[in-house]
């Protein structure tokens, strides 16, 4: 199936593989991919249980790799594969987990997860079957959500991943959700293959819009300013001026003239970067407040006041972003200029403008006259409408059957 895809995935993760000695991992290979395995040992004779199997495209540069299992019980341990890769001139850290459903010591897992989030200094992705149901409000799911929220990580998938229990226990978590356009697809898998659904996640960087503006830079020669001011002041006979207001006016005029003579203005062309139209000072302040509270809470994790404040700041940030997006969209689409409005709609939907044809064939001849091309298209559509109109039967009101007559109207 993978070999038939035009756009092949960068990373493929299988959780709870249950690989056993009679089915060794070395028989599972995907052409064009490098494989990493971490299995869980068991006391059963046939072995196996849990485990991770990760495939990554061979053309992706792998900077580091770490595989391990941890937990105080070898029969019920957590498997982890950590990759650091270079892709499209960016560095990503990808941490894959499998946490068994009967793993009771959740503190070990949350502490390891926090260590990874605290150490992340770039784009980080957590993937895996964590057996933490986000579709239920449990003590563990609350702690897990609070931890992600504290370090500005977000779960990108929101559909059921295990149909039998109606739960979301397979997660894709990232810390760059505001910088990326994300698409998630949850696909149901045949029950004989797995009781989990397949989660497909794609990321694309949001292109930063650049526009040119002109900026004025003023540079003043203060030595020249002082000399000019002294020359102008010495030329005025203040003893002959009786009105104090006139003296003030003269000094103001002298100061302005001196500044003009000693100051040069240079106009330069600069590039402004705008992440998104709705990303304004109000959003920046809400983000800054949340980050400030997150930093404080890391130092004092038992402070209930900080926890409540951080939760309130997170809710406020979501509301601010939602409101600013709404205002931005209304501003884009409420335009008297229909051409500009449709241009904005196409930009939001990601539609690309198509270039007009350079030439077309008219009656067997190649024509590149833009005016004639436009008239040909215009006539074509007008003729089509006229032909359709002529084919319609002429029906009068009296010929309409009684049952089809509509008595009410809007």
Please report, for the chain, the start and end positions of each structural domain, with discontinuous segments joined by +: 2-205, 209-274, 281-349, 360-404
Q: Is 360 helix (H, G, I), strand (E, B) or coil?
A: strand
**Domain 2-205 CATH class label:** alpha beta
Distance separating the N- and C-terminal Cα atoms of the chain? 55
Residue tagged 């563990």 (tokens): 140
Threshold 0.85, pTM exceeds:
no
Task: Tell me the pLDDT of the chain (410 aa) as tens digits.
Answer: 676 677 788 899 988 887 765 666 677 888 889 998 888 765 454 455 678 889 998 888 898 899 888 876 666 788 899 999 988 778 899 999 999 888 888 888 998 999 898 888 888 999 999 999 998 889 999 999 988 988 889 999 989 999 888 999 999 999 887 766 787 888 888 887 888 999 988 887 655 444 556 667 777 888 888 888 888 888 887 777 878 788 888 888 888 888 888 888 777 665 554 446 677 778 888 888 888 888 888 778 788 888 888 889 888 988 998 888 888 877 777 767 777 777 777 776 666 656 666 777 777 777 778 888 888 888 887 877 777 777 776 655 454 455 444 444 44
């Amino acid at each position: 199936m993978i070999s038939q895809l035009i756009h092949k995935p960068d990373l493929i993760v299988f959780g709870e593989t249950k690989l056993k000695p009679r089915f060794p991992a070395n028989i599972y290979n995907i052409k064009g991919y490098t494989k990493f395995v971490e299995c869980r040992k068991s006391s059963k004779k046939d072995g196996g249980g849990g485990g991770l199997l990760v495939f990554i495209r061979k053309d992706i540069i792998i900077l580091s790799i770490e595989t391990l299992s941890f937990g105080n019980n070898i029969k019920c341990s957590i498997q982890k594969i950590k990759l650091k890769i270079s892709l499209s001139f960016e560095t990503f850290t990808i941490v894959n987990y499998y946490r068994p459903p009967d793993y009771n010591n959740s503190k070990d897992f949350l502490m390891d997860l926090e260590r990874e989030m605290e150490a992340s200094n770039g784009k980080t992705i957590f993937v895996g079957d964590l057996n933490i149901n986000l579709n239920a409000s449990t003590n563990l799911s609350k702690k897990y959500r609070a931890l992600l929220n504290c370090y500005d990580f977000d779960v990108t998938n929101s559909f059921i991943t295990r149909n039998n229990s109606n739960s979301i226990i397979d997660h894709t978590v990232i810390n760059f959700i505001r910088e990326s356009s994300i698409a998630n697809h949850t696909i149901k898998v045949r029950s004989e293959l797995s009781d989990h659904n397949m989660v497909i996640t794609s990321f694309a960087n949001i292109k930063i819009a650049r526009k040119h503006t002109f900026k004025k830079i003023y540079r003043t020669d203060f030595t020249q300013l002082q000399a000019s001011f002294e020359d102008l002041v010495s030329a005025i006979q203040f003893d002959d001026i009786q009105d104090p207001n006139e003296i003030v006016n003269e000094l103001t005029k002298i100061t302005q003239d001196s500044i003009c003579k000693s100051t040069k203005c240079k106009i330069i062309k600069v590039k402004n970067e705008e992440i998104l139209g709705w990303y304004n000072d109000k959003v920046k302040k809400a983000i800054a407040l949340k980050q400030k509270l997150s930093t404080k809470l890391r130092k004092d994790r038992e402070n209930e006041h900080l926890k409540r404040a951080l939760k309130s700041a997170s809710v406020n940030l979501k509301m601010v972003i939602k409101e600013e997006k709404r205002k931005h969209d209304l501003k884009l689409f409420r335009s008297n200029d229909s051409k500009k409005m449709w241009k904005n709609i196409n930009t939001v939907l990601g539609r690309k403008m198509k270039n007009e044809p350079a030439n077309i064939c008219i009656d067997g001849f190649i024509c590149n006259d833009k005016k004639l091309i436009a008239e040909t298209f215009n006539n074509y559509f007008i003729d089509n409408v006229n032909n359709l109109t002529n084919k319609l039967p002429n029906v009068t009101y009296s010929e309409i059957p009684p049952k089809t007559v509509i008595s009410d109207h809007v």
